[in-house]
Protein backbone atom coordinates (compact mmCIF):
# COMPACT_ATOMS: atom_id res chain seq x y z
CA UNK A 1 0.00 0.00 0.00
CA UNK A 2 1.76 3.16 -1.20
CA UNK A 3 -0.76 5.92 -0.52
CA UNK A 4 -1.10 8.20 2.47
CA UNK A 5 -2.70 11.39 3.76
CA UNK A 6 -0.30 14.20 4.51
CA UNK A 7 0.06 17.89 5.25
CA UNK A 8 2.11 20.36 3.22
CA UNK A 9 4.55 21.98 5.65
CA UNK A 10 6.45 24.30 3.30
CA UNK A 11 9.63 24.61 1.29
CA UNK A 12 13.26 24.34 2.32
CA UNK A 13 16.54 23.23 0.79
CA UNK A 14 18.96 20.35 1.29
CA UNK A 15 22.35 19.50 -0.16
CA UNK A 16 23.35 16.24 -1.84
CA UNK A 17 26.69 14.41 -1.61
CA UNK A 18 28.29 16.65 -4.24
CA UNK A 19 27.18 19.83 -2.49
CA UNK A 20 24.41 20.75 -4.92
CA UNK A 21 21.50 22.69 -3.48
CA UNK A 22 18.12 21.00 -3.98
CA UNK A 23 14.86 22.88 -3.31
CA UNK A 24 12.29 20.57 -1.71
CA UNK A 25 8.77 20.68 -0.30
CA UNK A 26 8.31 19.01 3.09
CA UNK A 27 5.21 16.87 3.52
CA UNK A 28 4.17 15.48 6.88
CA UNK A 29 3.11 11.98 5.83
CA UNK A 30 0.97 10.35 8.48
CA UNK A 31 0.89 8.49 10.71
CA UNK A 32 -2.45 7.35 9.31
CA UNK A 33 -4.42 4.63 11.13
CA UNK A 34 -6.51 2.25 9.04
CA UNK A 35 -10.14 2.95 9.98
CA UNK A 36 -11.80 0.42 7.66
CA UNK A 37 -10.75 -2.33 5.26
CA UNK A 38 -13.13 -2.90 2.36
CA UNK A 39 -13.11 -6.16 0.40
CA UNK A 40 -14.77 -7.54 -2.70
CA UNK A 41 -16.79 -9.96 -0.60
CA UNK A 42 -18.29 -7.35 1.71
CA UNK A 43 -18.23 -4.12 -0.32
CA UNK A 44 -17.68 -5.12 -3.96
CA UNK A 45 -14.17 -3.66 -4.22
CA UNK A 46 -10.83 -3.56 -2.39
CA UNK A 47 -9.94 -0.37 -0.55
CA UNK A 48 -8.82 1.01 2.79
CA UNK A 49 -9.96 4.09 4.67
CA UNK A 50 -7.19 6.09 6.33
CA UNK A 51 -7.51 8.72 9.03
CA UNK A 52 -5.24 11.69 9.70
CA UNK A 53 -4.89 14.17 12.59
CA UNK A 54 -6.51 13.26 15.89
CA UNK A 55 -9.84 14.85 16.73
CA UNK A 56 -11.77 15.29 20.00
CA UNK A 57 -14.48 12.59 20.06
CA UNK A 58 -17.10 15.01 21.41
CA UNK A 59 -16.88 16.99 18.17
CA UNK A 60 -18.12 14.02 16.14
CA UNK A 61 -21.53 12.45 15.77
CA UNK A 62 -22.29 9.24 17.62
CA UNK A 63 -22.17 7.27 14.37
CA UNK A 64 -18.70 8.65 13.56
CA UNK A 65 -17.41 7.89 17.06
CA UNK A 66 -18.71 4.33 16.80
CA UNK A 67 -16.84 3.84 13.52
CA UNK A 68 -13.51 4.73 15.14
CA UNK A 69 -14.24 2.71 18.28
CA UNK A 70 -15.03 -0.33 16.15
CA UNK A 71 -11.66 0.02 14.38
CA UNK A 72 -9.85 0.48 17.68
CA UNK A 73 -8.31 3.83 16.72
CA UNK A 74 -8.61 7.36 18.06
CA UNK A 75 -11.04 9.78 16.40
CA UNK A 76 -9.57 11.38 13.29
CA UNK A 77 -10.21 14.78 11.71
CA UNK A 78 -9.56 13.73 8.07
CA UNK A 79 -10.84 10.51 6.48
CA UNK A 80 -9.96 9.40 2.94
CA UNK A 81 -10.31 6.19 0.96
CA UNK A 82 -7.68 4.60 -1.30
CA UNK A 83 -7.94 1.61 -3.60
CA UNK A 84 -5.53 -1.22 -2.80
CA UNK A 85 -4.51 -4.61 -4.12
CA UNK A 86 -6.65 -7.63 -3.36
CA UNK A 87 -3.78 -9.30 -1.50
CA UNK A 88 -3.08 -6.38 0.81
CA UNK A 89 -2.58 -7.45 4.42
CA UNK A 90 -3.64 -4.12 5.94
CA UNK A 91 -6.59 -4.29 8.30
CA UNK A 92 -8.48 -1.97 10.63
CA UNK A 93 -6.24 -0.76 13.45
CA UNK A 94 -2.99 -0.92 11.46
CA UNK A 95 -0.94 2.21 10.80
CA UNK A 96 0.55 3.64 7.59
CA UNK A 97 3.44 6.11 7.82
CA UNK A 98 6.25 7.61 5.75
CA UNK A 99 8.21 4.34 5.85
CA UNK A 100 5.86 2.97 3.17
CA UNK A 101 7.61 5.25 0.64
CA UNK A 102 11.23 4.35 1.39
CA UNK A 103 11.54 2.38 -1.87
CA UNK A 104 9.39 4.75 -3.98
CA UNK A 105 11.09 7.21 -6.34
CA UNK A 106 8.16 9.26 -7.72
CA UNK A 107 4.73 10.21 -6.35
CA UNK A 108 1.50 11.88 -7.48
CA UNK A 109 0.21 14.51 -5.03
CA UNK A 110 -3.38 15.74 -4.94
CA UNK A 111 -4.42 18.94 -3.20
CA UNK A 112 -6.63 22.03 -3.43
CA UNK A 113 -4.92 25.05 -4.96
CA UNK A 114 -4.86 28.47 -3.34
CA UNK A 115 -8.04 30.48 -3.92
CA UNK A 116 -7.40 33.73 -5.84
CA UNK A 117 -10.94 35.09 -5.87
CA UNK A 118 -12.54 36.79 -8.90
CA UNK A 119 -9.81 37.72 -11.39
CA UNK A 120 -9.63 39.32 -14.81
CA UNK A 121 -8.34 37.75 -18.01
CA UNK A 122 -4.81 39.18 -17.65
CA UNK A 123 -4.15 37.37 -14.38
CA UNK A 124 -6.44 34.39 -14.93
CA UNK A 125 -5.54 33.51 -18.54
CA UNK A 126 -2.32 35.47 -19.11
CA UNK A 127 -3.87 37.79 -21.72
CA UNK A 128 -1.69 40.60 -23.03
CA UNK A 129 -4.35 43.31 -22.70
CA UNK A 130 -4.95 46.24 -25.02
CA UNK A 131 -2.74 49.12 -26.05
CA UNK A 132 -1.41 51.40 -23.31
CA UNK A 133 -1.13 54.56 -25.40
CA UNK A 134 -3.31 56.86 -27.55
CA UNK A 135 -6.43 56.69 -25.43
CA UNK A 136 -6.08 53.00 -24.57
CA UNK A 137 -6.82 53.40 -20.86
CA UNK A 138 -10.26 51.80 -21.19
CA UNK A 139 -8.89 48.63 -22.86
CA UNK A 140 -5.63 48.20 -20.95
CA UNK A 141 -6.66 45.03 -19.06
CA UNK A 142 -9.78 44.10 -20.99
CA UNK A 143 -10.37 40.80 -22.72
CA UNK A 144 -11.46 42.23 -26.04
CA UNK A 145 -14.42 41.18 -28.15
CA UNK A 146 -16.23 37.98 -27.17
CA UNK A 147 -19.37 38.20 -29.33
CA UNK A 148 -20.16 36.75 -32.75
CA UNK A 149 -21.64 38.10 -35.98
CA UNK A 150 -25.29 37.62 -36.87
CA UNK A 151 -24.63 33.91 -37.17
CA UNK A 152 -24.29 32.11 -34.81
CA UNK A 153 -24.87 35.26 -32.75
CA UNK A 154 -23.76 33.92 -29.37
CA UNK A 155 -20.74 33.46 -27.12
CA UNK A 156 -19.21 30.01 -27.36
CA UNK A 157 -18.92 27.87 -24.25
CA UNK A 158 -15.53 27.79 -22.47
CA UNK A 159 -14.56 31.23 -23.80
CA UNK A 160 -11.74 32.58 -21.65
CA UNK A 161 -13.28 35.31 -19.53
CA UNK A 162 -12.96 36.83 -16.03
CA UNK A 163 -14.12 34.62 -13.17
CA UNK A 164 -13.22 32.56 -10.10
CA UNK A 165 -9.53 31.58 -10.07
CA UNK A 166 -7.97 28.84 -7.97
CA UNK A 167 -9.56 26.76 -5.20
CA UNK A 168 -9.74 23.67 -7.42
CA UNK A 169 -8.61 20.08 -6.89
CA UNK A 170 -5.34 19.43 -8.72
CA UNK A 171 -3.02 16.43 -9.02
CA UNK A 172 0.66 17.04 -9.76
CA UNK A 173 2.21 13.89 -11.21
CA UNK A 174 5.66 12.37 -11.10
CA UNK A 175 7.22 14.44 -8.32
CA UNK A 176 10.60 13.05 -7.36
CA UNK A 177 11.15 11.92 -3.78
CA UNK A 178 14.46 13.37 -2.65
CA UNK A 179 14.43 11.99 0.87
CA UNK A 180 12.22 10.03 3.27
CA UNK A 181 12.71 10.77 6.96
CA UNK A 182 10.95 7.95 8.77
CA UNK A 183 11.74 9.24 12.26
CA UNK A 184 10.00 12.54 11.47
CA UNK A 185 7.23 11.03 9.29
CA UNK A 186 8.31 13.42 6.54
CA UNK A 187 8.71 13.08 2.78
CA UNK A 188 10.82 15.61 0.89
CA UNK A 189 9.79 16.00 -2.76
CA UNK A 190 11.14 18.11 -5.60
CA UNK A 191 8.52 19.96 -7.64
CA UNK A 192 5.32 21.94 -7.31
CA UNK A 193 2.92 20.69 -4.62
CA UNK A 194 -0.60 22.17 -4.90
CA UNK A 195 -2.15 24.08 -2.03
CA UNK A 196 -1.05 26.50 0.70
CA UNK A 197 1.19 25.55 3.60
CA UNK A 198 -0.76 23.59 6.18
CA UNK A 199 -3.24 22.13 3.70
CA UNK A 200 -4.09 18.44 3.50
CA UNK A 201 -2.72 16.54 0.50
CA UNK A 202 -3.01 12.97 -0.76
CA UNK A 203 0.23 11.23 -1.70
CA UNK A 204 0.21 8.18 -4.00
CA UNK A 205 2.92 6.20 -5.72
CA UNK A 206 3.22 7.47 -9.30
CA UNK A 207 1.69 5.17 -11.90
CA UNK A 208 4.51 5.92 -14.31
CA UNK A 209 7.74 7.86 -14.11
CA UNK A 210 8.88 10.57 -16.52
Q: Any idea where the domains of the chain sit in the sequence?
A: 3-115+169-205, 116-166
Whole-prediction pTM: 0.84
Q: Note the pLDDT tens digit of each residue in 183-195.
A: 999 999 999 999 9
Instruction: Enumerate residues 6+ apart whose C-beta is below 8 A from 47.
Output: 38, 81, 82, 83, 84
Q: What's residue 210's pLDDT? A: 54
**pLDDT at 201 (0 to 100):** 96
CA distance 81 to 130: 48
Q: In this predicted structure, what is the pLDDT of residue 209?
A: 62
CB 168 within 8 A of CB 136: no
State the first-to-last Cα distance of the chain, in angstroms, to the nearest integer: 22
pLDDT < 50 regions, the chain = none
Q: CA–CA distance from 48 to each of 18, 38, 40, 108, 114 (Å)?
A: 41, 6, 12, 18, 28
DSSP 48-73: EEEEEEE--GGGS-HHHHHHHHHHT-
Asked if residues 198 and 7 have their Cβ atoms less than 8 Å apart, the reply is yes
Residue 208: partners with Cβ closer than 8 Å, 6 or more residues away = 174
pLDDT for 149 equals 83
Distance between CA atoms of 168 and 150, rounded to whole angstroms?
36
pLDDT tens-digit profile of 42-84?
888 889 999 999 999 999 999 989 989 988 899 999 999 998 8
Residue 28, Cβ density class (10 Å: 0-12 exposed, 13-18 middle, ≥19 buried): buried
Q: Does domain 3-115+169-205 have CATH number 3.40.640.10?
A: no
**pLDDT at residue 17 in the model:** 87
Measured CA to CA, the distance from residue 4 to residue 43 in angstroms comes to 21
191 φ/ψ sector (left φ>0, alpha ψ -120 to 50, else beta): left
Cβ neighbors of 119 (< 8 A, separation 6 or more) are: 162, 163, 164, 165
pLDDT at residue 1, as a whole number = 66
Phi, psi of 146 (to 5 degrees): -120, -10
Amino acid sequence: MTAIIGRKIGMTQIFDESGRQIPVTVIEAGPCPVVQRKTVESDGYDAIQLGFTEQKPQRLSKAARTRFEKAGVKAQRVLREFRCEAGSELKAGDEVNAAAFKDVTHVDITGTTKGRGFQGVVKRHNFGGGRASHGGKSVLRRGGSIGMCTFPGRVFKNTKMPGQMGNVRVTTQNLKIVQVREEDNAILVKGSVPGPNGSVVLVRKALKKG
